[in-house]
Amino acid sequence: MKKKILITILIISSLSINISAQKNTNSPYTRFGYGELVDAGFGRAKGMGGISFGLRSKSMINPANPAAFSCIDSTSFLFEFGVSGLLSNFSTKNASTTKFTGNFDYFALQFRVTKWLGMSAGILPYSFAGYNFSSQDSTRLPHPTDTIFIRNKQTFSGNGGISQVYLGLSVDLFKRLSLGVNGYYMFGSVNNIRALDISSSEGNVAYSSFYQSELKVNSFNVRFGLQYHQPLRKKKDLLVIGAIYEFQTKLGSTFSYTLYARDTFPKPEEAEDLAIKNAFQLPNVYGGGITYSYDNRLIIGADFQFQQFAKAKFQNVTDTLNNRMKISVGAEYIHKPTSNKYVERMSWRLGGNYTNSYINVNGRGTQNFAITAGVGFPFPRSNSVINLNLEYGRIGTTANSMLREQYLRLGVNLTLNENWFFKSRVR
């Protein structure tokens, strides 16, 4: 068993390098803030709209609320990883384009240490950045003998993201209460480039500039979790109330940028370099959720999350970002978990969520509406399962000269549930 644990840890270490280099989005909205934030729920939770704070199951890993780690069976060892593909359409009032990307998402494991203590570890994303777009326009200048235009072209591109390795522990107290904590090591970088060229119709360059910035992250963070689980009606029903909290803390980071400009008049050339350390903060995070389950066949739940970005420093300023709020609802249904018929043991999931984004685009915020669906395919004669989840979402609007993004995300999640912690007896 120790060999298997060591091999798993080595796999996690190697995957950490791969995940940090992924480009899991094509959205221009990831130009702002830390990029697109990724909530911690795994494949099964994503099919239910992303609910997770009140989810408590022996057959899944739930890093969103570390209090859930203690519910695993004493003989089980869970492995879980996921991949996804993203098809995005971006549109304005005058144009549209479609892009696709796909990548490895996360990896995690979970096992019971003692009768009252559960443990989990893994790698998951905190944010992604990835975009490449340009805009151009022209202005006619008055001239007595000719028509002269000034052309203005701007190009924007960016990539990278922030990943986090976590180690979580959970304890059971008084049979009904579970407490948990996740410790995170955050690493990665977010890069942004902006180029501007101003030229005349005669081909003369009047002005050009190039700006490149990089945010490098090496930091630690902590999340606390709580779950109260109360059986009802002869233990067939289970009510779970969960909550999580992260306190506002300094983000260990280095922000650097280079600005190069060339002007035909009055200055021929100028450049500027600057590096700033620890000019960012992670926000206070509050979350709560409730789920009701019946006879291991039906789960219904809802979540609420609030991230206080408006009070957290971003480049030493506290009014750059907006507070982020997310509401999620979802359900799962299994007709007969112990049936001999395969279809009756399959899991069916449905959900939706609404997110008020933390980014600020020219003084305006954006909203994300999403609906999700999922299905779980159990392995024959095994507790392992393959989960498929599909999410359709819409971000922003074409009004007020903004961009609307519509996306379709397909995720595949594999959960291996192995019996490692038992001893065979020979008679």
User: Residue 206: which pLDDT band, with cuts at 50, 70 and 90?
Assistant: low
What is the predicted pLDDT for the residue at 40?
Answer: 86
CA distance 315 to 281: 9
How long is the chain?
427
CA distance 108 to 416: 11
Where do the DSSP E strands lie in 28-147?
Answer: 36-37, 76-91, 96-114, 117-141
Q: Is the pLDDT of residue 199 over 70?
A: yes
Q: Write out pLDDT tens, residues 271-286.
A: 566 778 889 999 999 9
Q: How many other C-beta atoms are found inside a 10 Å radius of the C-beta of residue 387?
A: 24
Q: Is the pLDDT of residue 177 over 50?
A: yes
Looking at residues 241-258, what average pLDDT do you find? Answer: 94
First vs last C-alpha separation in the chain: 23
Looking at residues 207-225, what average pLDDT do you find? Answer: 91
Q: Write out pLDDT tens, residues 356-369.
A: 999 988 777 889 99
What is the predicted pLDDT for the residue at 96?
Answer: 82
Cβ-contact 218, 186 below 8 angstroms: yes
Lowest mean pLDDT among 136-145, 222-231, 299-308: 136-145
Looking at residues 4-20, what average pLDDT do you find? Answer: 48
Question: pTM (2 decimals)?
Answer: 0.87
Phi, psi dihedral angles at 125 (to 5 degrees): -80, 150
Task: Give the residue, 168 or 195, on which the prediction is more confident.
Answer: 168
Structure tokens, 169: 């522990």
Q: For residue 397, give Cα distances in angstroms to 155, 317, 343, 347.
A: 22, 27, 41, 35
Q: Write out pLDDT tens, residues 110-160.
A: 999 888 899 999 999 999 998 888 777 666 656 555 566 677 788 888 999
What is the sign, positive or negative, of the torsion defined by CA atoms of 303, 392, 387, 78? negative
What is the sign, positive or negative, of the torsion defined by CA atoms of 403, 404, 410, 414? positive
150 membership: H or E segment, kind and range: strand 148-173
Mean confidence (pLDDT) of the chain: 85
What is the predicted pLDDT for the residue at 10?
Answer: 47
Q: Write out pLDDT tens, residues 51-92.
A: 999 999 988 999 999 999 999 877 788 999 999 999 999 887
Cβ-contact 29, 322 below 8 angstroms: no
Please tell me whether the peptide bond between 380 and the residue prior to it is cis, using omega within 30 degrees of 0: no
% of the chain surpassing 90 pLDDT: 52
What is the sign, positive or negative, of the torsion defined by CA atoms of 288, 229, 225, 354? negative
What is the predicted pLDDT for the residue at 77?
Answer: 87
Please tell me whether the peptide bond between 231 and the residue prior to it is cis, using omega within 30 degrees of 0: no
Alpha carbon dihedral 272, 278, 284, 290, in 10-degree steps, equals 90
Q: Is the pLDDT of residue 17 over 60?
A: no
Residue 66 is given by DSSP the state G
Cβ-contact 67, 242 below 8 angstroms: yes
What is the predicted pLDDT for the residue at 136?
Answer: 72
Q: Where are the domains of the chain?
A: 2-125+162-189+218-248+283-419
Cβ-contact 404, 410 below 8 angstroms: no
Structure tokens, 139: 């202005």
Q: Is the pLDDT of residue 370 over 60?
A: yes
What is the predicted pLDDT for the residue at 195?
Answer: 87
What is the predicted pLDDT for the residue at 335?
Answer: 93
337 membership: H or E segment, kind and range: none
What is the sign, positive or negative, of the torsion defined by CA atoms of 426, 4, 52, 335? negative
46 membership: H or E segment, kind and range: helix 43-46
CA distance 36 to 366: 12
Q: Which superfamily, per CATH, for 2-125+162-189+218-248+283-419?
A: Outer membrane protein transport protein (OMPP1/FadL/TodX) (2.40.160.60)
Q: Which of 394, 385, 387 is nearest to 410 (CA)?
A: 387
What is the predicted pLDDT for the residue at 135?
Answer: 73
Burial class of residue 156, CB neighbours in 10 A (0-12, 13-18, 19+)? middle
